[in-house]
Amino acid sequence: MGACLYLLAFAIILAVATAGGACPASDRDALLALKAGLNEPYLGILDTWTGNDCCHNWHGISCNAETMRVADINLRGESEDPIYERAHRSGYMTGSISPAICNLTGLAVLVVADWKGISGPIPRCVTSLPSLRILDLIGNKFTGRIPPYIGRLHELTLRRQPPPPHAPRPPKQQALRPDPRRHRAAFHAEPGPAEREPAYGDHPLSFANIYRLADLDLSLNRLSGQLPDMFGKMPVLATLNLDGNLITGPIPPSLLNSGVSILNLSRNSIEGRIPDVFGPGSYFMAIDLSYNMLSGPIPKSISAAAYIGHLDLAHNQLCGPIPDGPPFDHLDADSFLGNTCLCGKPLSSC
């Protein structure tokens, strides 16, 4: 009788263990390749990435409960996780992101944020991960161009297959709580044809396979190139934060009359006039264009926008009278300081 109970208990434990499952070896290998390319000397976070089952107790890794595929990589160098309090420091990591990460075809969330020292290009293949919804890579040293020709590829992407109806949703983030201080990136990605990885060099980061992008946050890196016209034509793009990069060229007019409602392009080298295309379709919680090289007048059409909450045009080369009406009647002088020759309320009269 006793032996029977033991056997039964053993069978149950075995069944539970099997149902719980472990991550596939291919996912574990991809994570180990990611680990091999990174160096995190102070907290030992990546030291937890050991053993066969990458779904359990690997810091920042969560798996889809049904498929046991890796669904969520959530590595934040600054957060409220006690690990940082205990270490009395924020995170620091060097190295680069291995393209092997693209073998994680169940990946829905990829957050590698605020590590300050991770460099190299963002692997282009991330844009063809079939389930990827969120990509947050702020606060690193990633390089690469945002390609100017991207707009031409937009139509092509729209003809691609819709995502599978049962695509896994991102699991609840357990390892680290999200940082409430900032808006975070969310690529809403579509599967695309396999992209060729260029052999070397500072190649463009291709957004060609992505048309469901809702929030994109690549702030505080070293990305260069011009703003693709495509950003203003993406139906669900709501937040675009590219502040603190090396972006050049003009603002695409479509961006100012699109679904984007939070736009931060501050601290780049964007030039030319601010397109005079604001209209009833322009609804901005915040537009920050400060610390660029924008010239010419402030467009009058801004007053025709449906709504503009915060507007920051400081530290450019703008000139001429500040228009009347909303949103100018609720902005203070800080929004206009440091320009070539702006005048009128709230600055001194013309």
Ligand X SMILES: *[C@@H]1O[C@H](CO)[C@@H](O)[C@H](O)[C@H]1NC(C)=O
Contact set with ligand X (CB under 6 A): 26, 29-30, 33, 100, 103, 219, 243-244, 264, 266-267, 286, 288, 310
80: exposed, middle or buried (Cβ count in 10 Å: 0-12, 13-18, 19+): middle
DSSP 8-state assignment for residue 80: S
Q: Which residues contact 164 (CB under 8 A, 6 or more apart)?
A: 130
13: exposed, middle or buried (Cβ count in 10 Å: 0-12, 13-18, 19+): exposed
Q: How far is the CB of 201 from ligand X (least distance, A)?
A: 22
Q: How far is the CB of 284 from ligand X (least distance, A)?
A: 10
Q: Does the CA dihedral 137-72-84-95 come out positive or negative?
A: negative
**Under a CB-based contact definition with an 8 Å cutoff, are residues 130 and 211 in contact?**
no
Q: How far is the CB of 8 from ligand X (least distance, A)?
A: 39
The backbone torsions φ and ψ at residue 35, rounded to the nearest 5 degrees and listed phi first, read: -60, -40
Nearer to ligand X, 33 or 83 (CB): 33
CA atoms within 13 A on the CB side of 16: 6
Nearer to ligand X, 215 or 288 (CB): 288
Amino acid at 165: P
Nearer to ligand X, 20 or 193 (CB): 193
Nearer to ligand X, 29 or 229 (CB): 29
Q: How far is the CB of 286 from ligand X (least distance, A)?
A: 4
**Under a CB-based contact definition with an 8 Å cutoff, are residues 125 and 107 in contact?**
no
Q: How far is the CB of 139 from ligand X (least distance, A)?
A: 10
Nearer to ligand X, 33 or 347 (CB): 33
Nearer to ligand X, 26 or 151 (CB): 26
Q: Does the CA dihedral 194-195-200-205 come out positive or negative?
A: negative
Q: Which residues contact 318 (CB under 8 A, 6 or more apart)?
A: 274, 294, 295, 296, 297, 298, 336, 339, 340, 342
Q: How far is the CB of 30 from ligand X (least distance, A)?
A: 5
